[in-house]
């Protein structure tokens, strides 16, 4: 019983946070709600006895990605101050409509197919050693590839986001002036 | 020197080289042009002498050297040159005469601007004539024949500014052309039948017995023997070139050219080419049991002799008289060939060449002296003013008329009359020959009286009095006069060297032959005829010569219609004009009409058609294809813009579409499977 | 001996016995939570006063000695002060975030204690990947700091938060890398297993603690440095450097929220020291065979308080680092050294099979030599660690 | 201890997926779209873990492995994505997606 209650609770929490992340007006709140949703998901993983994945999810998403998103929000704060900018694109209703259609499309098979209704088998013996062996034997190549990918992404992100010398030393680049400039840019 | 034959081709080549080089010279290089021409001719003359002496000593009758001009797939066309007594004699005569006349023309043409061009054409003519003489193939002979025709055209029309000279050159060229066509036809026919055009080719040549028998055997549609038909055609060529009766009209007009030209070409060599051709082709013409062609030659020769002599009596231009006398003498040669064979004809040709060129050069110096005056009625009394010219001219005149014993004309004409008398077929040629001799003597005395005797006419008074020609002209006259006398002794009945030389035998001196009955009778008859003619002529014309001003010609007074007929040359020119030329113009008009109306019309129609087609094509292309294509492009562009509306760069639009697609896919999958 | 050692465990079971069987696990869990919170709450209080007293002593002055004997009741006084102080919230602040920030900071830290083995089978939850849980929870604190900094809508607080986050992220990497050698030696991620791996004595009297191995010593040093930076303490307490940024992201906080922040900070410190003890100082293992009579949790407590004293001592003596020096030090000195240490540790474990005599000494010499060389090399040649002097031209 | 049936997990993931999709599609902010995509990614991970847990052969750990690698790659993806957004913002001074349509047809 504990499992079911906790699952439904966590599910509700996660869905709520997700909806909030998508619906809130202020970006920072959205980012934090998203982080909460990710944490909720991590707990669901734990509830599914996938311990290592849960903690990894927690460490990566809540620890790193949330911070990244928040920093991105900070660095592009000119957006916030723009007066009267509507947050959602004009034709957001059609977007949500399609999303609902998509949901229906996904739900139908899940509910219809009988094979998915069965309960959970006995909890597998969780062991990090198994995961370690698996990683180091069958998945050693993907592991190396992911390592390379991460370094590349790291360098790429730094290079892209690095302030180019051209716009770096422009006099008008201090945050205050930047906000003023965005003001002008907006109504151009 | 048996291998001299190898160098015989140099004889025509040197003058040809001189002509070529002369042609490139500038007009001012007079000395070089003259030197070239004379030098080349002198070298050729030396080579000819060497050849002549070699034929004398070496008893080989004939040497020939052939080479392949070009070879077609299955046949080869061969040319070649040969050396036999006939060629040697002609080489000697042509080169010697050309040399003398070149020297003479140095003086005669001195004041002419186109001096270099004159000598270039003269050496070109020399090359052609010499090539014709040594040719061992009818084709090479024909080529040189044409070259000679060309040079005669160029030389007759030398002073082309004068319209008369240009017309005369054209007339000469066209009439000889008519003869040449016949020669060409004969040549082709001969080639097709005998397989080769080489005369003597170790038994294979067309004039050798093997092919002759074939030709004689062959028959043509008229029932005539093939050899007779071919030889008639070839004789037609000779008639054209030597100015025999039907085609003689061009020779008198050819006097428009400078006198040395007339002397060399229209007296000695070129006109003699026709006779030489008949002599060369004699085996063919006389082939067969009773050669009809030979009789034709004889009759044509006889008729021409009397006909031309008659006309000569009524002419007033000094050169025209000599021209008609040349025609009649050529008639004599043809008759000689016809009745007496090659030796008789050729002997008269050689002697005639010397005294006729002498007469022409004499006339030239008279004209030169009288500052270009040619009408004999305006001349007179030049005996005192031009003594050298008178003396040499008189020698030439006596040789021509056949004054007995010392003058060459007598012996050669006598040989012909003798042969004519013995001619089995008919004795008419003999009587015509005698009449011709009488007429020749008569018009020559007329001319001499008018020109040299009597008081100097007022014409000379007008300009400076006539003066003797310079040495460079009189010396050649003297040389020729000597030869005119000596040449006769080669072929006298007593010592028939010429006849034996040609036949390759050895001449024996038998004085008694002179007094053999028929010979003696003949000699007396001819001297009698000449004597009567001189007396008649002196009586009629000497009186007139001394009057001044001279009235009309006594002959005209006594027989006006005959004189009028003779003066107008029996209206043959007018006859031709009326018939042949009219036909020709009719043909050209018809061709012109055909060309302008029919063909031009057709072309114009075709061009119109194509233009119309082009118009239709353009219209079709313009409206149909272009418009259609533009329409297509426009449609493409429109659909493109519609599609581009879809691609508006907004990422979310793409995501939506993607999502929609996934849903539809899922739904299809579910419904499809369920 | 065993009875004293397991006293807590036995009392727990006894108490849990009262609850119905079905709820027993829940009740025992609640009891453990209560016990831990009580223990570490008092530790927090003691720590504040001890810190101030030792700082004073070190600066040749008494610490707070007015309230209670030797100032021992000072924390109670502080606590009461914090409670009754007015809780001022700036007008333009983001109310919700402002309120949530202290919560999000302290709750994860409490969770961290669930994993630490305080004594023989005295850890709240024995997780297979215990240490991964610990670091996962540790990483949540950055988010909280951000929320605090951002919600007070104040330039200084935002700058302070940025600095704090940069520092904490930079030092999380060397922290994790320093702890990895211990895992390799133990061969498992669960903390009791690690402590178990450090039991026993080499050469009769030297305990097999990780710290007595070359890589262990270097790892322990790295771990401590990273730990102080992680918890924003003294040499690295730039974010709330009183002189420049007033209190950094804490400026807009007052009253109980401010107290909560301090509680979170100290709990973070305790958690990290607990981990340091388990990883390198052999957890609850006795230092010598003849000393094993003392209860295991006692040893843990002793080592724990020694480290705490070390931190306080560091705070009293070391000057504050500049931010770029700080980051420089982390990325260009600690991380490379940690990686080299990892290599040495692996070599050490692999070379364990050498049988010939003096194998231990040789391995020691090799390990120490490599580490010393790399320490000197990194430190001096490649300008890691000593950034070039910055020119300040004030007149501009 | 009864676990809820597998279908419930799938329902949750579907729901999360569509919420993420709605956000990605509806919202104008670039960063929010990124967050939406992250959500969709997590929904997919949830599916994997659910199927691993309810799957016939939990020992195989393929699901877990897949999720681990997916998380790593998602981190890289977010890092680069946000770098791009920041670069675009610095140059265009806006993060609204409607403004970034220069690649239109």
Question: Does residue A175 have a pLDDT over 60?
Answer: no
Does the CB of C189 have a partner CB in chain A at under 8 Å?
A: yes
Distance (Å, rounded) from C-alpha C315 to C-alpha C233? 7
Nearest Cα to B164, choosing from B265, B242, B255, B246? B255
Question: Can you give the length of chain C in residues?
Answer: 396
Helix, strand, or coil (residue A167): helix
In a domain, residue A160? The reply is yes
Give the Å distances, CA to CA, from B502 to B343, B420, B486, B496: 6, 20, 19, 10
Measured between CA atoms, how close is C16 to chain A, in angstroms? 19
Of the listed ranges B88-102, B121-135, B529-543, the one predicted with least confidence: B529-543
Segment C195-238, tens digit of pLDDT? 988 888 877 778 888 888 889 999 999 999 999 988 888 777 77
In a domain, residue C13? The reply is no
In a domain, residue C49? The reply is yes
Q: What ipTM does this complex have?
A: 0.69
CB atoms A108 and B667 under 8 Å: yes
Q: Can you give the residue range of the structural domain that contains A132? A: 126-188
Does the CB of A119 have a partner CB in chain D at under 8 Å?
A: yes
Does the CB of B643 have a partner CB in chain D at under 8 Å?
A: yes
Measured between CA atoms, how close is A95 to chain B, in angstroms? 6
Measured between CA atoms, how close is B667 to chain A, in angstroms? 6
pLDDT at residue A170 in the model: 47
Question: pTM score, two decimals?
Answer: 0.55
Nearest C-alpha in A relative to B666: A105
Distance (Å, rounded) from C-alpha D33 to C-alpha D25? 7
Domain at A45, CATH number = 1.20.120.1200
Nearest Cα to C75, choosing from C60, C88, C62, C63? C63
Tokens of D4: 């809820």
DSSP string, A27-39: HHHHHHHHHHHHH
Query: B196 and B176 in contact (C-beta within 8 Å)?
Result: no
Strands B76-83 and B63-71, how do they pair? antiparallel
In a domain, residue A25? The reply is yes
Please state whether at least 3 CB pairs lie below 8 Å between chains B and A: yes
Question: Does residue B268 have a pLDDT over 90?
Answer: no
How many Cβ atoms from other residues are within 10 Å of residue C191's Cβ?
A: 26
Question: Does residue B445 have a pLDDT over 60?
Answer: yes
Chains that touch D (3 or more CB pairs under 8 A): A, B
Q: Considering only CB atoms, which chain A residues are within 8 Å of C135?
A: 59
In a domain, residue C155? The reply is yes
pLDDT mean across residues, chain B: 85
Give the Å distances, CA to CA, from C146 to C150, C172, C173, C175, D89: 6, 16, 19, 21, 22
Q: Which residues of A touch C (CB under 8 A)?
A: 28-29, 32, 35, 39, 42, 51-52, 55-56, 58-59, 62-64, 66-67, 70, 74, 126-129
**C253 and C329 belong to one structural domain:** yes
Question: Does residue C180 have a pLDDT over 90?
Answer: yes
Nearest Cα to C104, choosing from C146, C162, C164? C146
Q: How many whole angstroms from its chain centre is CA A15?
A: 13
How many Cβ atoms from other residues are within 10 Å of residue B163's Cβ?
A: 9
Of C84, C114, C133, at which residue does a domain stop? C84
Q: How confident is the model at residue C277 (pLDDT cuts 50, 70, 90)?
A: very high
Chain B (639-658) residues lying within 8 Å, Cβ to Cβ, of chain A: 650, 652, 656
Q: How confident is the model at residue B458 (pLDDT cuts 50, 70, 90)?
A: low
pLDDT at residue D80 in the model: 93
How many Cβ atoms from other residues are within 10 Å of residue B455's Cβ?
A: 13
**C39 and C154 belong to one structural domain:** no
Which residues lie closer than 8 Å to A133 by C-beta, 6 or more apart? Answer: none
Q: How confident is the model at residue B550 (pLDDT cuts 50, 70, 90)?
A: low
Segment C74-101, tens digit of pLDDT? 899 988 988 898 888 888 888 888 999 9
Could you tell me which residue, A78 or C306, shows the higher pLDDT?
A: C306
Distance (Å, rounded) from C-alpha A140 to C-alpha B145? 109
Q: How confident is the model at residue C278 (pLDDT cuts 50, 70, 90)?
A: very high
Helix axes B428-452, B517-546, angle to 10 degrees: 30
Q: Can you give the residue range of the structural domain that contains C37? A: 25-84
Does the CB of C175 have a partner CB in chain A at under 8 Å?
A: no
Task: Report long-range pairs for A140-149 (Cβ below 8 Å, ≥24 apart).
Answer: A142/D65, A142/D69, A146/D69, A146/D72, A146/D73, A149/D72, A149/D73, A149/D76
In a domain, residue A104? The reply is no
Please state whether at least 3 CB pairs lie below 8 Å between chains A and C: yes
Q: What is the mean pLDDT of residues B597-611?
A: 91
Nearest C-alpha in C relative to A46: C133
Which residues lie closer than 8 Å to C62 by C-beta, 6 or more apart? Answer: C53, C56
Distance (Å, rounded) from C-alpha B337 to C-alpha B279? 7
In chain A, the number of structural domains is 2
CB atoms A108 and B659 under 8 Å: no
Of C84, C107, C126, at which residue does a domain stop? C84
| Of B650, B656, B667, Cβ closest to residue A105 | B667
**C71 and C97 belong to one structural domain:** no
Q: What is the mean pLDDT of residues A21-47?
A: 91
> Nearest 5°: CA angle at C105, between C102 and C108?
135
Q: Considering only CB atoms, which chain D residues are within 8 Å of B659?
A: 21, 25
Does the N-terminal peptide bond of residue B192 adopt cis geometry, omega within 30 degrees of 0?
A: no
Question: Does residue B625 have a pLDDT over 80?
Answer: yes
In a domain, residue C136? The reply is yes
In a domain, residue C371? The reply is yes
Inter-chain contacts counted by CB atoms under 8 A, chains A and D: 271
pLDDT at residue C252 in the model: 81
Tell me, what DSSP letter sits at residue B622? I
CB atoms A55 and C165 under 8 Å: no
**C114 and C241 belong to one structural domain:** yes
Does the CB of B649 have a partner CB in chain D at under 8 Å?
A: yes
| Of A28, A56, A62, Cβ closest to residue C140 | A62
Q: What is the mean pLDDT of residues B500-520?
A: 76
Q: Considering only CB atoms, which chain A residues are within 8 Å of C137?
A: 58
In chain C, the number of structural domains is 2
pLDDT at residue A188 in the model: 42
Percent of chain C scoring above 70 in pLDDT: 95
Q: Which contiguous run of DSSP H or E holds residue D79?
A: helix D62-92
Question: Does residue D94 have a pLDDT over 50?
Answer: yes
Distance (Å, rounded) from C-alpha B459 to C-alpha B385? 14
Q: What is the mean pLDDT of residues B29-46?
A: 91
Does the CB of A115 have a partner CB in chain B at under 8 Å?
A: no
Q: What is the mean pLDDT of residues A132-157?
A: 91
Question: Does residue A187 have a pLDDT over 60?
Answer: no
| Of A89, A95, A105, Cβ closest to residue B663 | A105
> Could you identify the residue written with the tokens 């001074």?
D93
Segment B5-16, tens digit of pLDDT? 888 888 999 999
Nearest C-alpha in D relative to A94: D26
pLDDT at residue A83 in the model: 44
Query: C345 and C181 in contact (C-beta within 8 Å)?
Result: yes
Q: What is the mean pLDDT of residues D24-32?
A: 87
Question: Does residue C329 have a pLDDT over 80?
Answer: yes
Inter-chain contacts counted by CB atoms under 8 A, chains A and C: 62
Helix, strand, or coil (residue B198): strand
Question: Can you give the length of chain D in residues?
Answer: 105
Say what the alpha-carbon torsion angle D54, D59, D62, D66 is, to the nearest 10 degrees.
80
Question: Does residue A84 have a pLDDT over 50?
Answer: no
**Chain A interface disruption, residue of D5, D21, D25, most A CBs within 10 A:** D25
Distance (Å, rounded) from C-alpha C8 to C-alpha C14? 10
In a domain, residue A39? The reply is yes
Q: How confident is the model at residue A186 (pLDDT cuts 50, 70, 90)?
A: very low
Helix, strand, or coil (residue C265): helix
Tokens of A76: 């592009």
Could you tell me which residue, B75 or A32, shows the higher pLDDT?
A: A32
Give the Å distances, CA to CA, from B566 to B137, B307, B563: 41, 10, 5
**C150 and C250 belong to one structural domain:** yes
Query: B453 and B542 in contact (C-beta within 8 Å)?
Result: yes
Query: A94 and B655 in contact (C-beta within 8 Å)?
Result: no
Tokens of A38: 């990710």
Helix, strand, or coil (residue B76): strand
CB-neighbour burial class of residue A69 (10 A; exposed 0-12, middle 13-18, buried 19+): buried
Distance (Å, rounded) from C-alpha B97 to C-alpha B350? 11
**Chain C interface disruption, residue of A128, A130, A131, most C CBs within 10 A:** A128
Q: What is the mean pLDDT of residues A75-102?
A: 71
CB atoms B651 and D26 under 8 Å: no
**C38 and C163 belong to one structural domain:** no
**Chain D interface disruption, residue of A19, A69, A71, A180, most D CBs within 10 A:** A69
Does the CB of B465 have a partner CB in chain D at under 8 Å?
A: no
| Of D5, D42, D46, Cβ closest to residue A118 | D5
Does the CB of A49 have a partner CB in chain D at under 8 Å?
A: yes
What backbone torsions phi and psi does residue C292 show, to the nearest 5 degrees? -75, -5
Chains that touch C (3 or more CB pairs under 8 A): A
Of the listed ranges A46-50, A175-179, C243-247, the one predicted with least confidence: A175-179
How many Cβ atoms from other residues are within 10 Å of residue C229's Cβ?
A: 26
Question: Can you give the length of chain B in residues?
Answer: 674
Helix, strand, or coil (residue B66): strand
Chains that touch A (3 or more CB pairs under 8 A): B, C, D
Distance (Å, rounded) from C-alpha C218 to C-alpha B331? 148
Longest CA–CA span in chain B (Å) reads 154
Does the CB of D59 have a partner CB in chain B at under 8 Å?
A: no
**Chain A interface disruption, residue of C25, C127, C140, C170, most A CBs within 10 A:** C140
Give the Å distances, CA to CA, from B191 to B25, B138, C50: 40, 9, 148
CB atoms A127 and C128 under 8 Å: yes
**C48 and C136 belong to one structural domain:** no
Nearest Cα to B145, choosing from B102, B189, B185, B176? B176
């Amino acid at each position: 019983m504990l499992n079911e209650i906790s699952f439904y609770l966590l599910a509700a929490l996660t869905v709520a946070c997700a909806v909030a992340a998508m619906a809130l007006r202020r970006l920072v709140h959205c980012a934090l709600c998203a982080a909460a949703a990710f944490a909720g998901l991590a707990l669901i993983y734990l509830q599914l006895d996938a311990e290592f994945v849960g903690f990894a999810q927690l460490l990566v998403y809540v620890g790193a990605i949330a911070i990244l998103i928040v920093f991105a929000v900070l660095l592009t704060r000119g957006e916030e101050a723009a007066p009267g900018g509507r947050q959602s694109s004009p034709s957001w209703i059609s977007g949500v409509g399609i999303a609902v259609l998509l949901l229906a499309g996904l739900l139908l098979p899940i509910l219809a197919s009988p094979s998915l209704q069965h309960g959970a088998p006995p909890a597998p013996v969780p062991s990090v050693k198994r995961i370690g062996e698996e990683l180091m034997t069958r998945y050693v190549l993907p592991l190396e590839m992911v390592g390379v990918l991460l370094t590349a992404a790291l360098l790429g992100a730094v290079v892209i986001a690095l302030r180019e010398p051209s716009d770096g030393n422009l006099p008008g680049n201090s945050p205050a002036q930047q906000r003023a400039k965005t003001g002008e840019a907006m109504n151009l | 020197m048996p291998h001299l034959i190898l160098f015989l081709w140099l004889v025509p080549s040197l003058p040809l080289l001189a002509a070529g080089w002369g042609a490139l010279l500038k007009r001012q290089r007079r000395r070089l042009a003259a030197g070239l021409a004379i030098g080349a001719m002198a070298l050729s003359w030396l080579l000819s002498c060497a050849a002549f002496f070699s034929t004398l000593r070496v008893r080989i009758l004939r040497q020939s050297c052939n080479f392949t001009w070009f070879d077609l797939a299955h046949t080869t066309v061969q040319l070649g040159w040969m050396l036999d007594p006939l060629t040697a004699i002609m080489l000697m005569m042509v080169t010697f005469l050309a040399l003398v006349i070149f020297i003479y023309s140095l003086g005669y043409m001195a004041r002419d601007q186109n001096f270099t061009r004159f000598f270039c054409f003269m050496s070109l003519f020399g090359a052609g004539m010499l090539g014709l003489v040594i040719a061992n193939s009818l084709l090479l002979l024909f080529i040189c024949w044409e070259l000679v025709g060309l040079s005669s055209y160029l030389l007759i029309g030398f002073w082309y500014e004068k319209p008369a000279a240009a017309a005369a050159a054209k007339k000469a060229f066209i009439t000889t052309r008519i003869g040449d066509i016949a020669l060409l036809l004969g040549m082709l026919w001969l080639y097709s039948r005998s397989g080769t055009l080489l005369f003597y080719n170790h038994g294979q040549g067309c004039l050798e017995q093997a092919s002759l028998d074939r030709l004689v055997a062959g028959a043509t549609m008229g029932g005539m023997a093939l050899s007779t038909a071919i030889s008639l055609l070839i004789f037609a060529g000779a008639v054209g070139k030597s100015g025999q009766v039907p085609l003689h009209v061009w020779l008198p007009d050819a006097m428009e050219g400078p006198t040395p030209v007339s002397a060399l070409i229209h007296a000695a060599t070129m006109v003699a080419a026709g006779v030489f051709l008949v002599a060369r082709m004699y085996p063919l013409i006389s082939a067969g049991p009773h050669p009809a062609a030979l009789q034709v030659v004889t009759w044509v020769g006889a008729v021409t002799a009397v006909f031309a002599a008659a006309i000569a009596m009524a002419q007033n231009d000094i050169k025209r008289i000599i021209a008609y006398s040349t025609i009649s003498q050529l008639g004599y040669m043809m008759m000689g060939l016809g009745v007496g064979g090659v030796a008789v004809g050729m002997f008269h040709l050689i002697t005639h060449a010397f005294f006729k060129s002498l007469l022409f050069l004499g006339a030239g110096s008279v004209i030169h002296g009288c500052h270009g005056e040619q009408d004999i009625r305006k001349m007179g009394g030049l005996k005192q003013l031009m003594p050298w010219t008178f003396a040499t001219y008189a020698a030439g005149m006596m040789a021509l008329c056949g004054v007995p014993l010392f003058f060459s004309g007598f012996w050669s004409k006598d040989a012909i009359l003798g042969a004519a008398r013995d001619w089995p077929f008919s004795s008419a040629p003999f009587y015509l020959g005698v009449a011709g001799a009488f007429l020749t003597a008569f018009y020559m005395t007329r001319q001499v009286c008018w020109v040299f005797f009597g008081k100097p006419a007022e014409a000379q008074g007008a300009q400076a009095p006539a003066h003797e020609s310079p040495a460079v002209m009189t010396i050649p006259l003297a040389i020729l006069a000597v030869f005119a006398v000596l040449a006769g002794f080669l072929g006298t009945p007593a010592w028939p060297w010429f006849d034996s030389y040609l036949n390759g035998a050895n001449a024996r001196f038998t004085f008694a032959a002179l007094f053999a009955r028929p010979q003696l009778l003949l000699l007396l008859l001819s001297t009698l005829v000449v004597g009567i003619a001189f007396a008649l002529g002196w009586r009629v014309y000497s009186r007139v010569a001394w009057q001044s001003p001279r009235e009309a010609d006594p002959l005209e007074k006594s027989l006006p219609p005959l004189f009028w007929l003779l003066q107008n040359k029996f209206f043959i020119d007018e006859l031709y004009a009326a018939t042949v030329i009219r036909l020709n113009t009719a043909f050209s008009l018809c061709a012109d009409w055909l060309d302008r109306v029919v063909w031009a019309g057709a072309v114009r129609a075709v061009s119109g058609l194509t233009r119309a087609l082009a118009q239709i094509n353009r219209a079709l292309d313009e409206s149909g294809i272009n418009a259609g294509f533009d329409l297509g492009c426009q449609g493409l562009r429109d659909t493109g813009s519609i599609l581009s509306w879809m691609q508006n760069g907004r990422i979310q639009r793409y995501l939506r579409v993607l999502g929609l697609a996934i849903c539809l896919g899922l739904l299809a999958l579910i419904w499809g499977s369920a | 001996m065993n009875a004293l050692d397991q006293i807590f465990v036995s009392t727990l079971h006894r108490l849990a016995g009262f609850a119905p069987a079905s709820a027993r696990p829940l009740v025992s869990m609640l009891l453990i939570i209560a016990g831990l919170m009580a223990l570490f709450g008092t530790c927090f209080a003691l720590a504040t006063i001890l810190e101030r007293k030792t700082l004073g002593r070190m600066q040749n002055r008494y610490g707070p000695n007015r309230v209670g004997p030797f100032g021992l009741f000072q924390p109670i006084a502080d606590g009461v002060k914090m409670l009754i102080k007015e809780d001022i919230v700036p007008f333009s602040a983001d109310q919700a975030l402002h309120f949530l920030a202290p919560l999000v900071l302290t709750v994860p830290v409490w969770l961290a204690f669930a994993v630490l083995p305080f004594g023989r089978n005295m850890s709240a939850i024995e997780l297979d990947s215990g240490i991964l849980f610990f670091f996962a929870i540790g990483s949540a604190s950055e988010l909280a700091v951000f929320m605090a900094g951002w919600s007070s809508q104040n330039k200084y607080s935002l700058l302070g938060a940025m600095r704090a986050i940069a520092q904490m992220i930079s030092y999380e990497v060397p922290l994790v890398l320093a702890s990895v050698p211990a895992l390799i030696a133990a061969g498992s991620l669960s903390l009791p297993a690690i402590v178990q791996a450090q039991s026993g004595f080499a050469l009769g009297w030297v305990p097999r603690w990780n710290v007595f191995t070359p890589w262990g010593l270097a790892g322990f040093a790295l771990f401590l440095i990273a730990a102080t930076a992680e918890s924003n303490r003294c040499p690295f307490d730039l974010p709330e450097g009183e002189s420049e940024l007033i209190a950094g992201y804490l400026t807009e906080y007052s009253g109980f929220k401010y107290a909560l922040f301090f509680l979170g900070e100290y709990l973070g410190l305790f958690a990290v020291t607990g981990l340091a003890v388990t990883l390198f100082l052999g957890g609850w293992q006795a230092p010598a065979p003849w000393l094993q009579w003392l209860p295991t949790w006692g040893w843990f407590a002793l080592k724990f308080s020694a480290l705490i004293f070390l931190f306080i001592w560091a705070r009293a003596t070391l000057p504050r680092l500049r931010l770029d020096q700080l980051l420089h030090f982390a990325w260009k000195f600690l991380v490379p050294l940690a990686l080299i240490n990892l290599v040495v540790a692996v070599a050490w474990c692999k070379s364990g099979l050498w049988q010939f005599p003096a194998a231990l000494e040789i391995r020691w010499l090799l390990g120490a030599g490599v580490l010393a060389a790399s320490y000197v090399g990194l430190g001096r040649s490649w300008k890691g660690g000593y950034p070039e002097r910055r020119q300040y031209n004030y007149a501009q | 201890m009864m676990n809820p049936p597998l279908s419930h997990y799938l329902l949750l993931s579907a729901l999360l997926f569509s919420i993420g999709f709605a956000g990605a599609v509806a919202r104008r902010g670039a960063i929010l779209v990124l967050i939406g995509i992250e959500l969709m990614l997590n929904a997919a991970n949830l599916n994997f873990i659910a199927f691993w847990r309810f799957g016939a052969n939990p020992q195989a750990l393929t699901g877990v492995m897949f999720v681990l690698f997916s998380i790593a790659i998602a981190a890289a993806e977010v890092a680069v994505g946000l770098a791009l957004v920041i670069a675009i913002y610095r140059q265009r001074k806006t993060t609204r997606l409607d403004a970034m349509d220069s690649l239109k047809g």
